């Protein structure tokens, strides 16, 4: 905190008044200090490489979360469009039936008129808001033949059903319009985050880019070490389990396949199919909202991989995390889904030895990478989908 003591320059004073030379020097110093305080930030105030890296990572994370929101909205839009199309088809069919019923009513009304029978005003009938009230008021129903009564009933039924379906179609169209607006907003949000990240990276000098690459390399090396540690822990646990099983077999003399082993075998067979598919996608670009075959986003890749094994996963990470059984990280097996971040905005397919195949982020390609690529703290959960 700055001192509040009054500054007292040294120098000659005459009758308590500072000499002009000293006064001028003091004023000059104050002016220079003021200019320095108001000057533009120096080069030292530029964000550090570490800060730029964190900002870019945060933006990519936000973009991925927005991508999952986009995926969810797009899926909802597709469902609503199907419903609207179905309702409009139904309305068209009912309208045709209504027209047929109206024509038949007009025919028998005209026939009654030609025979001199008391007939209703056909135009009034067909334009009536409530045909049932009209028929009741004219007491016509008691004079109609069975065939004519059927025609009247058909007309009344179809008019009510058509009116209802038209209302449903109108409401569904309104809902679809709202969802499409949300879809455009989600898309714009993704594009905005990605543009901001690209802008930050574009401003780095060659030296800064080299330093950023060195930071990324150190992170990758640390992630690989963590993956190796997990692999060693799992190998030790597996060996211990096998030894325990062998001791039990020696003691009891029992052999054969247990129910648990049969379940594991079934899961392994499915997981192998999913992993084979995922490995074949390595090198393809990450494209947000993509589900293959030329490109993928993270949840699009896991969905496509498990589909080859006969398991239908939902479209988004937020839904995929709820399908299957959650298992501890220590019990993770090849084929399991690994979810990341508190908002569950990223997912990868575990391949074993602490590694996974995933579609990382925009600008990157489907690749095999340590599940600790961003540190253990960002791992949200592990789910066995089948």
Beta partners for residue 325, in sequence order: 384
Residue 32's pLDDT is 40
Q: How many CB atoms are closer than 10 A to CB 27?
A: 10
Dihedral sign for Cα 103, 108, 112, 114, please.
positive
Q: Is 298 a catalytic residue?
A: yes
Q: Mention every residue, 6+ apart, whose C-beta is less than 8 A from residue 86.
A: none
Q: β-pairing, 379-384 with 337-340?
A: antiparallel
Residue 97's pLDDT is 76
For 89, 105, 349, the CA distances from 301, given in Å and listed in that order, are 35, 59, 9
Reported as type and span, the H/E element at residue 340 is strand 337-340
Q: Hey, what are 182's tokens?
A: 């949300």
The catalytically annotated residue of 4, 61, 358, 380 is 358
Residue with tokens 């090849």: 334
DSSP string, 40-55: PP-GGGSPPHHHHHHH
The catalytically annotated residue of 4, 61, 298, 380 is 298
Q: Hey, what are 56's tokens?
A: 């870019």
DSSP state at residue 7 = P
* Burial (0-12, 13-18, 19+ Cβ within 10 Å), 127: exposed
Q: Hey, what are 25's tokens?
A: 């020097």
The catalytically annotated residue of 4, 61, 346, 380 is 346
Residue 231's pLDDT is 93
Give this prediction's pTM.
0.70
Residue 270's pLDDT is 96
- End-to-end alpha carbon distance in the chain: 63
For 18, 28, 29, 37, the CA distances from 14, given in Å and listed in that order, are 7, 21, 22, 33
Task: Encode the chain (386 residues) as per-residue pLDDT tens digits.
Answer: 444 333 333 443 333 333 344 344 433 444 444 444 444 444 456 788 999 999 999 999 999 999 999 999 999 898 888 888 888 888 888 788 777 777 776 666 666 555 555 444 444 444 455 555 555 545 555 555 666 667 777 777 778 888 888 888 888 888 889 989 999 998 999 999 999 999 999 999 999 999 999 999 999 999 999 999 999 999 998 899 888 888 888 877 665 555 566 678 899 999 999 999 999 999 999 999 999 999 999 999 999 999 999 999 999 999 999 999 999 999 999 999 999 999 999 999 999 999 999 999 988 999 999 999 999 999 999 999 98
Q: Is 4 a catalytic residue?
A: no
Residue 2's pLDDT is 42
Q: Is 346 a catalytic residue?
A: yes
Residue 87's pLDDT is 82
């Amino acid at each position: 905190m700055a001192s509040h003591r009054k500054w007292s320059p040294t120098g000659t004073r005459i009758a308590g008044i500072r000499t002009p030379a000293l006064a001028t020097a003091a004023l000059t110093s104050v002016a220079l200090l003021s200019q320095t305080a108001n000057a533009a930030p120096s080069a030292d105030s530029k964000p550090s490489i570490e800060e730029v890296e964190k900002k870019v990572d945060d933006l990519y994370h936000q973009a991925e979360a927005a991508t999952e929101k986009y995926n969810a909205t797009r899926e909802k839009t597709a469902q609503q469009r199907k419903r609207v199309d179905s309702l409009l088809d139904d309305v068209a069919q009912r309208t045709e039936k209504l027209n047929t019923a109206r024509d038949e009513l007009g025919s028998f009304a005209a026939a009654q008129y030609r025979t001199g029978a008391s007939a209703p005003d056909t135009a009034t009938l067909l334009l009536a808001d409530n045909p049932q009230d009209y028929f009741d008021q004219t007491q016509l129903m008691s004079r109609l033949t069975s065939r004519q009564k059927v025609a009247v009933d058909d007309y009344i039924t179809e008019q009510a059903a058509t009116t209802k379906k038209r209302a449903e179609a109108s409401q569904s169209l309104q809902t679809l319009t709202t969802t499409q607006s949300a879809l455009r907003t989600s898309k714009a949000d993704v594009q905005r985050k990605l543009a901001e990240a690209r802008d930050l990276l574009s401003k780095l000098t060659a030296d800064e880019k080299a330093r950023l690459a060195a930071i990324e390399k150190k992170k990758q090396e640390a992630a690989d070490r963590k993956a190796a540690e997990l692999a060693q822990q799992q190998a030790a646990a597996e060996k211990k389990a096998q030894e325990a099983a062998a001791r039990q077999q020696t003691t009891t003399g029992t052999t054969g396949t247990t129910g648990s082993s049969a379940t594991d075998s079934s899961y392994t067979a499915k997981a192998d199919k999913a992993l084979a598919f995922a490995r074949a996608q390595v090198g393809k670009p990450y494209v947000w909202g993509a589900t293959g075959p030329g490109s993928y986003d993270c949840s699009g890749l896991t969905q496509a991989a498990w589909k080859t094994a006969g398991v239908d996963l939902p479209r988004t990470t937020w839904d995929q995390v709820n399908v299957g059984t959650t298992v501890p990280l220590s019990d993770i097996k090849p084929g399991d889904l690994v979810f990341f971040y508190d908002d569950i905005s990223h997912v990868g397919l575990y391949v074993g030895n602490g590694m996974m195949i995933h579609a990382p982020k925009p600008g990157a390609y489907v690749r095999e990478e340590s599940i600790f690529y961003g540190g253990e703290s960002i791992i949200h959960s592990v789910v066995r989908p089948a």
